[in-house]
Amino acid sequence: MQMEQLQQELATLRNRVEQQERALSRMQEEQRNRYVDLDERAQEHSRRLNQLEQARPAAQPATPRTPAQPATTNNPAPASQPPAAVLGQGDAGSDRDAYARAYELVPARRFDEAVTAFQNFIRQHPESRLVGNAYYWIGEIYMAQNRTQDAEKMFDAVVRRYPDSFKIADSKYKLGLIYARYGDERKARETMEAIVRDHPREPAADLARAYLQR
């Protein structure tokens, strides 16, 4: 009788543990999705702000009108290109999950694992719009590890290859700090000035202004 009671209690405890594990798994999944949603919304917001800035009409001198060219029917009109935001989004489910799992390793300071996870993400989801963010976080990890030249390559990759990334201004700011670390103050200040000019509403612009006012 006592053995049966112990077995029942053990079964009850196991059931509770399984329930708690399932609940914890759901909470972790929700947290990952919440972070990626926030990251993507911020990236989209930044992209729209940049589009509005670029769409502002600039004052231009009047130019004489040229006669309209006659319409031709021999050559079809070129196909319109899809909006840039639509290109390179990748698989919305799998790439978001892979990115979130890699990012979770950063605040946990599991840096080597995080670098490997981000590198795998870049290789497996090359068309994802989060690829630029992945390069940025690899650069941040390299900075924390004092691998300055490796970090420079990562931030430079964001700037050169992913100009629409939400991390573009942050990457430029990190490059400015790296130039200062190299002792190239002129290039560092030029980089900070470019951030203030090109990304005035980004948080990195506030950091750049503070650097310039030192």
Q: How confident is the model at residue 82 (pLDDT cuts 50, 70, 90)?
A: very low
The pair phi, psi for residue 72, each rounded to 5°, is -115, 150
| Domain ranges across the chain | 92-154, 166-213
Distance CA 7, CA 15 (A): 12
Dmax (CA) for the chain in angstroms is 103
Amino acid present at 87: L
Q: How confident is the model at residue 94 (pLDDT cuts 50, 70, 90)?
A: confident
User: Which of the pair, 53 or 173, is modelled with greater confidence?
Assistant: 173
Say what angle helices 185-198 and 168-182 make with each other, to 10 degrees: 160
Distance CA 177, CA 157 (A): 16
Q: What DSSP string describes 99-139? A: HHHHHHTTTTT-HHHHHHHHHHHHHH-TT-TTHHHHHHHHH
Instruction: Please say if the pLDDT value at position 61 is more than 70.
Output: no
pLDDT tens for each residue of 139-160: 999 999 999 999 999 999 999 9
CATH architecture assignment, domain 92-154: Alpha Horseshoe (1.25)
Q: How confident is the model at residue 95 (pLDDT cuts 50, 70, 90)?
A: confident
**CA angle 40-42-46, nearest 5°?**
115
User: Which of the pair, 205 or 18, is modelled with greater confidence?
Assistant: 205
Sign of the C-alpha dihedral computed for residues 157, 87, 124 and 100 taken in this order: positive
Instruction: Please say if the pLDDT value at position 69 is more than 60.
Output: no
Q: What is the pLDDT of the chain when averaged over all its residues?
A: 76
Q: Which of 41-45, 63-67, 103-107, 167-171 has the lowest mean pLDDT?
A: 63-67
